[in-house]
Chain A
Amino acid sequence: MSMGLALDVLLIAALLLTSWRLLEASDLFQAIVLFISFGLFLSLVWLRLQAPDIALAEAAVGAGLAGVLLLGTFKGLEPDFRKKQEESKPCRLDRPGACPTRVHYLAALLGVLGLAGILTLAVLDLPRSANGLTELAVRAFEPGGIDHLVTAVLLDFRLYDTWLELAVLVLALLGVLGAGGRHSVRGLEPPWDPDPVLVWLVRLLIPVVFSAAVYLLLLGGHAPGGAFQAGVILASGLTLLWLAGYRSVTVLPRGLWYGLVICGFGSIEVLAIFASVHPETPVLGYPPGFSNPVILALESLATLSIGVVLATLTIETLGGRERTPHYSGKGDRP
């Protein structure tokens, strides 16, 4: 018990310390590195709180992918970032509106403290021990089907969330490509020449990465794992392939790429249409007797979609500098 408590205190201290430092550190690069370690501490916390599904997703997405996106953007924004420190510039006096005064900061601080008070009261008001919806989920559970509760919730009881989540991914892709002024990442080259060590490592890792993705996908039915974790691993594999100069999502024909991006969302839509013409199937429910194969098919398509969309987002972020007029080859190669 006391060992557990010591671990809790250590983890929480690490979490709070890294988040405080990453917001306060004057060096932006240091802040991004701290952000990545914040994600890793958070995934340790998920393991401690018995949420291995989330720990897997957090380590891959929160720490890995978000870190890569931040570093890529940072490199694009400030190729010579060491020359000046953030927030050392004085506020411009010719624009009074842009200059927050001490009163503004005081008001914001009071607001934050008020928020802290309200949230603390809310947390203290919660019952200390409760099962939540666990029993409901266990009762609604069909024997012989999926026997991992989290996957069952994602793909059976709350399929609507998963569906809209896939829509959010497609929307984010549209937004990112739109803001970058591009239709697709077809033909984009990596921002630097592949390093021989990286090529060797990628050749070693790629079979492992792709088999891990398939394994996690199939494991999702009865243990921690599933479409999201598998999709993220697929995305990292595709990005690594691209970085090492191999074929990746950038050589896909446009039609196939569109198809892969939309297939996760589209397959659940087909299911919804099917349910609406079959009055005996519930909304977003599975045709009776076919739930297992249908769930596996949906999960596989969702994995493909998540992998391709996230890999495209990363590639656009890392290589997005290449053909824009302002930055053609200006200092963004290491």
Chain B
Amino acid sequence: MNTFLLYSLAAVVLICLGVHGLIFRRHLLRKVMALNIISGGIFLLLISTAYRNGTEAADPIPQAMVLTGIVVTVSATAFALALIRRIHQDNPDADDDGDFGDRE
């Protein structure tokens, strides 16, 4: 089994774990972490495809895309966390199980 296949399949499992967590976990912080796991899986898929030709130099284009993607992911995470803080601030006594926002 070659390295590319091993890491690509691990990426598939990561993406599915992330989607599962995004749907099944109710706390908003946990959903943000699940989104980050999905993006980690997608990056892993891209980088393992870049590595397909083995020990020679890896394809630089997916690497540059992932480098851009990491910064975009952390920006999106920061924004999502700011929204969570705001939701919590506007509903200080809401439950922590994810239904902050839907109070009258």
Binding site for B on A (CB under 8 A): 4, 8-9, 12, 15-16, 19-20, 22-23, 28, 31-32, 35, 38-39, 42, 45-46, 49-51, 53-54, 57-58, 61-62, 65-66, 69-70, 72-74, 76-78, 84, 86-87, 89, 98, 105, 108-109, 111-113, 115-116, 119-120, 123-124, 126-134, 137, 149-150, 152-154, 157-158, 161-162, 165, 168-169, 171-172, 175-176, 179-181, 228, 306, 310, 313, 316-317, 320, 324, 326-327
Decide if B15 touches A115 in the complex (CB within 8 Å): yes
Which residues does chain A contribute within 8 Å of B68, judged by CB atoms?
154, 161-162, 165
Choose from A19, A112, A137, A153 the contact partner of B37 (Cβ within 8 Å): A19
Residue of B nearest to A91 (CB): B97
B interface bracket (residues with beta carbon within 8 Å of A): 35 or more
> Taking chain B's interface residues, is the majority helix, strand, or loop, or is none over half, making it mixed?
helix
**Complex CA distance for A84 and B2, rounded to whole angstroms:** 46
Which residues does chain A contribute within 8 Å of B21, judged by CB atoms?
23
> Taking chain A's interface residues, is the majority helix, strand, or loop, or is none over half, making it mixed?
helix
**Complex CA distance for A262 and B27, rounded to whole angstroms:** 34
Decide if A45 touches B81 in the complex (CB within 8 Å): no
Per-residue contact bits, chain B 37-77, to A (CB 8 Å; 1 contact, 0 not): 10010011101111111110111111111111011111111
* A229 vs chain B, min Cβ distance (A): 9
Residue of B nearest to A41 (CB): B40
* Contacting residues of chain B (1-32) with chain A, CB-CB under 8 angstroms: 2-21, 23-27, 29-30, 32
Decide if B5 touches A51 in the complex (CB within 8 Å): no
- The total number of A-B Cβ pairs within 8 Å is 264
Decide if A53 touches B67 in the complex (CB within 8 Å): yes
**Complex CA distance for A152 and B63, rounded to whole angstroms:** 11
Decide if A89 touches B95 in the complex (CB within 8 Å): yes
Decide if B81 touches A73 in the complex (CB within 8 Å): yes
Choose from A54, A77, A89, A161 the contact partner of B97 (Cβ within 8 Å): A89
Choose from B20, B78, B79, B86 the contact partner of A112 (Cβ within 8 Å): B20
Decide if A49 touches B8 in the complex (CB within 8 Å): no
**Complex CA distance for A172 and B70, rounded to whole angstroms:** 14
Which residues does chain A contribute within 8 Å of B4, judged by CB atoms?
128-129
Decide if A179 touches B58 in the complex (CB within 8 Å): no
Which residues does chain B contribute within 8 Å of A324, judged by CB atoms?
89
**Complex CA distance for A161 and B99, rounded to whole angstroms:** 36
Which residues does chain A contribute within 8 Å of B82, judged by CB atoms?
175-176, 179-180, 316-317, 320
Decide if A50 touches B78 in the complex (CB within 8 Å): no
Residue of B nearest to A58 (CB): B70
Decide if B19 touches A115 in the complex (CB within 8 Å): yes
Decide if B40 touches A62 in the complex (CB within 8 Å): yes
Decide if B78 touches A137 in the complex (CB within 8 Å): no
Choose from B9, B50, B73, B79 the contact partner of A132 (Cβ within 8 Å): B50
Decide if A126 touches B49 in the complex (CB within 8 Å): yes
* A103 vs chain B, min Cβ distance (A): 13
Decide if A317 touches B81 in the complex (CB within 8 Å): yes
**Complex CA distance for A12 and B23, rounded to whole angstroms:** 24
